[in-house]
Structure 1
Amino acid sequence: MDHTELTPEMLLNAYANGVFPMAESADDPTIFWVDPEQRGIVPLDQFRLSHSLARTIRRARVTVTLNHAFEEVVTGCAARDETWINATIFDLYAKVHALGYAQSIEVWDGTELVGGAYGITLGTAFFGESMFSRKTDASKIALAYLVTHLKRTGFTLLDTQFITPHLASLGAIEIPRAQYHTLLDGALEREAEFREIVTPPSVQDVLQLRTHAS
């Protein structure tokens, strides 16, 4: 697709219909749309905060913020040998963020951004796009804080698009496309507010997820 045809409104409409964009590589200017037969999600009540991750969160001297460095998080997610984030996608998500529908969570070690995640929000659905880590377990910490924040603010669906061993270890599962669309339709019928209407979760808030530890 010619990137000049793609607008934030078109992107949000695609997500509302269960479809998301990808590029073959950072250097490929074209976009294609994906609606997987098997969709990855993290059931919010089944997130696995292992004892080792809980210990890391307790001991890690990091600060977690929401929407403080959106473009830096996307840059961090794209900084790998193979990425589906090209310039078109980067610019588009920045525009959607400015409209209030793209969110980020950041993990800081002092003033250094060491991890984070970003995604799209519509209704009570959070469409996770990508996450990155420059410090051991920083992306896991970001996801644990994200799940806690989503639960606190009334979200019902955390979409991971695909599933990886990393995500599976944290409770992600695959569901058929039809089941995903049913969950999505329900999530779009309700409203939730991601942006900082409350402070980011505290360490103790996140550690309450330990009831689901493996």
Structure 2
Amino acid sequence: MGIEMHMPGRQPRTRIQRKNTETILEAALEVFSQHGFRGATLDQIARAAGLSKPNLLYYFPSKVAIHRALIDGLMQTWLDPLREMRADGEPVEEILAYVLRKLEMAREYPRESRLFANEIVQGAPNILDKIEGELRSLVETKAAVIEDWIAQGRIAPTNPYHLIFSIWATTQHYADFDAQIRGILHPDGDSHFEDARVFLETLYRRMLTP
């Protein structure tokens, strides 16, 4: 899955315990991404993992604990591309690189994106502290960088917060609304991601170039 999980409660010690923990998280990702937090049940996760419910509860004491482990790992993965935007880089290229990293994540981690989207749609009850804390702090830091670039005349004037929001919208859309996109385009595999890459690079380059 490519996401480092921070697991509360009982920590796996043996190879079998580590394997079962990974199996549970993988199964939970599938169930949560399809049904959301409210629609998912421990019974569904246990069945998907091929484990009994009591065995599942040995590793995680509740549905909330499983969901939190997934979200904690996902938040770090989701924040990394924005962290990589360097203040000492070429502004337009740094922003474009961020766009393309986010688009690649939509292609590589569609279930993770839908898990996050489901949580947000439901009011972010399990991650509001992270949104108002770590995520907000990072966005404020990068918005300040973008404002400096604008003040220096290195990119065209724009609202840095809405620029970041628009990047999220135009990239994560390809994961969260995958069925709609495929229903319209009927692409050959993931070929539409290359078309999206060309379009988004052109869109943001034209928008940002002074």
Q: Max radius of gyration: which structure? A: 2
Higher helix share: 2
TM-score when normalising by structure 1: 0.28
Q: Higher RCO, 1 or 2 (CA under 8 Å, sep at least 6)?
A: 1
